[in-house]
Chain A
Amino acid sequence: MKYVYFVVEGQHDIAAIGRILKVFHEAKQINNERNLDPFWRRLVPNRFPYKGYLLGRVPVPAFFQTKESSIAIHSSGGESDLIKTLKNTLNNLDQEELSAIALFCDADKKNAFDYFKELTEKLNDLPPFTNLSAPGQVSRTRPRTGIHVFPDNRQGGTLETVLLECASITYSDLLEEASKYIDNINQNYKEKWRPFDNLKAKVGCIANVLKPGKSNQVSIQDNDWICSKTEANPSLSMLKNFIEELLE
């Protein structure tokens, strides 16, 4: 069995990568601990609450299983904890058994290469990451490693940039209406928005039409943002190929 460990910034990333695994790799999500490969058992939290916060989300990774690979996708809860989550969890796992490790993050505050550079500097004590020279590249070492910066390892943006590009193919009518709505609402509502929050809002509008009352991640994992019709989109294709190379 190949063990693959991904760290992402949030739940939407898990939903998108999980969707790629399900659609293009026939992966199944493991929903019951009994069916989980024992390799990952230490990653299943066994205490609550965390930091005393009763409303906190249980920081359990999402687990997926393909014929050849067992994949854990771990949300760090944000950019600032990405490295901490990766290093602590790797230290708690049998690293020799891992066949691939990857980080996924957004180019929403820095350009993709600067962010990649910053991450690799922080990872210089983790040998698998010292061989990387560019975002999106997968090292051919064991374990295979890589850092993917959304949307396409070059431009600024986030996962939502990719999703909206896909929506322009499968939900073009909804995208058009959502864009009109978001673009035309009173500017007062947008005062506290961070860069790229308008993209998140557009994804939220479409998701709420497709899955009323459900969270964006439910729509991302169930609807056709990521599917065979959108796989030719350059950003999605880059992400799909990156994952494929890690799983090889």
Chain B
Amino acid sequence: MIHIEELVIHKYRNLHNLKLQQLGQFNLLVGSNNSGKTSVLEAIELYCHPLDIRQFISTSRGRDRIFGPARTPLLDSIIWMFPATKNSKAENNKRENIYVSGIHNGRIFKISAACVEMTVIEPDNEQKDYYYSANEEELVNDSSVDGGRAYKVILEFQNSDNNLKNEKRKREYLLADYKPLFTRDNQDNIFKLYSTKFVTPVDHRILPISARLISKTIESGDKPNIIKLVKLFDHNIKGIEILSTDHPRPYPVPYFNHKKLGFAPVSVFGDGLRRALTLASALLQCRNGVLLIDELETAVHVEALEHVFTWLINACIQYNIQLFATTHSLETIDAVIAAGEKKNLLERFITYRLENKENISTAKRFSGKALHELRNELGQDVR
């Protein structure tokens, strides 16, 4: 199903007024390096969670999954999401607001985020356990008081239906160097347009495969589907089980039941299998929502691409998911077309080539049929 019908990224990172019109259920983003493909996925993630500061932070960290001292400071990650003000050098930190709008179910939704530099008085220890709203007293604009860097982030959401009935919501947060954010918000109550899951090219390497999600899959009866997927990578896999570790404080770990190896932890298998399970977990987390995959081809051998994508398409249909994925690979584009053609679903596939000319972002749109003709009849490159 097409949840988001149209999206305009007015301002986000280096994207300006990028229009993605007539979106499909399966949307492929291509373009040269630095054309903004990953930024589009991030903008969609923000759009779907317009008032959620935790998601905002998580999105800002999407490109920087590493942990430890080499990681970009959080505030820097956040600041760089905001476009640099035109005619000013990026380093002076003058930033424009983030602004994204979209249409679904015939309604227009607009989200924006603003970032205002603040100075805070060092709070006492007791206060440090709480999150800071910009409206609270400890926020001041007195630069003579050195409390470290701090930014007020203002998240806003607005929607209007055909009768022009408007709804506006706004939340403000303080993010500071001296203390990570602690929110008292109950995540279950946080408003969202759609569930999303963002799969980066490194997630399968650095994030553990979630035993909880695999467990949920098994409970929901989807286990045969997962087995079918992982068998594309290793036909000796018979099953997947959640087992307890032999540890003083046991915790659940997913294991493959393998014809030759017996029960072996998922983590000892190759990238392809881990990627497959990462995708399967992601699908479960965004049922009836939006799946965002950066570099679709990652860890999948070219000969398996078509099979994996056929599986992915089936799963997206089964779970009512709209897919947005980036790729640099022509083989991936061809495999996606072949999978779509095999399922007789080419009309649900749309490809956008992102281009950036003189700071203007444009998206060239190719229908599934046009892409099929360009690749299979004219042999042209569309990247």
**Residue positions of A touching B, CB distance < 8 A:** 41-48, 50-51, 58-60, 81, 84-85, 87-89, 91-92, 94
Contact of B381 with A59 in the complex, beta carbons under 8 Å = no
| Least CB distance, A38 to chain B, in whole angstroms | 12
Against A, the Cβ 8 Å flags (1 = close, 0 = not) of B311-331 are: 000000000000000000010
Residues of B within 8 A of A45 (CB): 378-380
- Considering the chains assembled together, what is the distance between the CA atoms of A46 and B331 in angstroms? 11
Contact of A92 with B376 in the complex, beta carbons under 8 Å = no
Contact of A92 with B379 in the complex, beta carbons under 8 Å = no
Residues of A within 8 A of B355 (CB): 94
- Considering the chains assembled together, what is the distance between the CA atoms of A177 and B378 in angstroms? 40
Counting CB contacts under 8 A, is B374 at the interface?
Answer: yes
- Which residues between 203 and 234 of chain B lie within 8 Å of chain A, taking CB atoms? none
Counting CB contacts under 8 A, is B185 at the interface?
Answer: no
Residues of A within 8 A of B375 (CB): 47
- Considering the chains assembled together, what is the distance between the CA atoms of A43 and B334 in angstroms? 16
| Least CB distance, A122 to chain B, in whole angstroms | 15
- Considering the chains assembled together, what is the distance between the CA atoms of A67 and B379 in angstroms? 29
Counting CB contacts under 8 A, is B382 at the interface?
Answer: yes
- With A42-B380, A45-B380, A51-B377 already in contact, 7 other A-B pairs whose C-beta atoms are closer than 8 Å: A43-B380, A47-B379, A85-B378, A88-B378, A91-B364, A91-B374, A92-B382
Counting CB contacts under 8 A, is B177 at the interface?
Answer: no
Contact of B381 with A41 in the complex, beta carbons under 8 Å = yes
| Least CB distance, A96 to chain B, in whole angstroms | 9
Of B370, B374, B379, the contact of A58 (CB 8 Å cutoff): B379
Counting CB contacts under 8 A, is B373 at the interface?
Answer: yes
Counting CB contacts under 8 A, is B263 at the interface?
Answer: no
Contact of B378 with A89 in the complex, beta carbons under 8 Å = yes
Contact of A89 with B380 in the complex, beta carbons under 8 Å = yes
Counting CB contacts under 8 A, is B173 at the interface?
Answer: no
- Which residues between 336 and 383 of chain B lie within 8 Å of chain A, taking CB atoms? 355, 364, 366, 370, 373-383
Contact of A50 with B380 in the complex, beta carbons under 8 Å = no
**Nearest 7 Cβ contacts at the A-B interface:** A45-B379, A42-B381, A88-B374, A47-B379, A88-B373, A59-B378, A42-B380
Contact of A92 with B374 in the complex, beta carbons under 8 Å = yes
Q: Describe B's contact surface by its main secondary structure.
A: mixed
- Considering the chains assembled together, what is the distance between the CA atoms of A204 and B330 in angstroms? 41
| Least CB distance, B365 to chain A, in whole angstroms | 8
Question: Interface size bucket, B side?
Answer: 10 to 19
**Residue positions of B touching A, CB distance < 8 A:** 330, 334, 355, 364, 366, 370, 373-383
Given the known interface contacts A46-B330, A47-B330, the answer about A59 and B370 at a Cβ–Cβ threshold of 8 Å is no
| Least CB distance, B223 to chain A, in whole angstroms | 36
Could you give 28 example pairs across A and B, Cβ below 8 Å?
A41-B381, A42-B381, A42-B383, A43-B378, A43-B380, A45-B379, A46-B379, A46-B381, A47-B330, A47-B334, A50-B379, A59-B377, A59-B379, A60-B379, A81-B377, A84-B373, A84-B377, A87-B370, A88-B373, A88-B378, A88-B380, A89-B380, A91-B364, A92-B364, A92-B374, A92-B380, A92-B382, A94-B355
Residues of A within 8 A of B370 (CB): 87-88, 91
- Considering the chains assembled together, what is the distance between the CA atoms of A92 and B330 in angstroms? 15
| Least CB distance, B334 to chain A, in whole angstroms | 7
| Least CB distance, B152 to chain A, in whole angstroms | 41
- Considering the chains assembled together, what is the distance between the CA atoms of A201 and B332 in angstroms? 46
Contact of A50 with B377 in the complex, beta carbons under 8 Å = yes
Most buried by A among B370, B377, B381, B382: B377
Q: Which residue of A lies closest to B379 (CB)?
A: A45
Contact of B381 with A44 in the complex, beta carbons under 8 Å = yes
Q: Which residue of B lies closest to A42 (CB)?
A: B381
Residues of A within 8 A of B378 (CB): 43, 45, 59, 85, 88-89
Contact of A50 with B376 in the complex, beta carbons under 8 Å = yes
Residues of B within 8 A of A59 (CB): 377-379
| Least CB distance, B54 to chain A, in whole angstroms | 41
Given the known interface contacts A91-B364, A91-B366, A92-B374, the answer about A42 and B382 at a Cβ–Cβ threshold of 8 Å is yes
Q: Which residue of B lies closest to A58 (CB)?
A: B379
Q: Which residue of A lies closest to B383 (CB)?
A: A42
Residues of B within 8 A of A84 (CB): 373, 377
| Least CB distance, B360 to chain A, in whole angstroms | 11
Residues of B within 8 A of A85 (CB): 378
| Least CB distance, B333 to chain A, in whole angstroms | 10
Residues of A within 8 A of B334 (CB): 47
Residues of A within 8 A of B381 (CB): 41-42, 44, 46
- Considering the chains assembled together, what is the distance between the CA atoms of A87 and B366 in angstroms? 11
Residues of B within 8 A of A42 (CB): 380-383
Q: Which residue of B lies closest to A95 (CB)?
A: B364
Q: Which residue of B lies closest to A43 (CB)?
A: B380
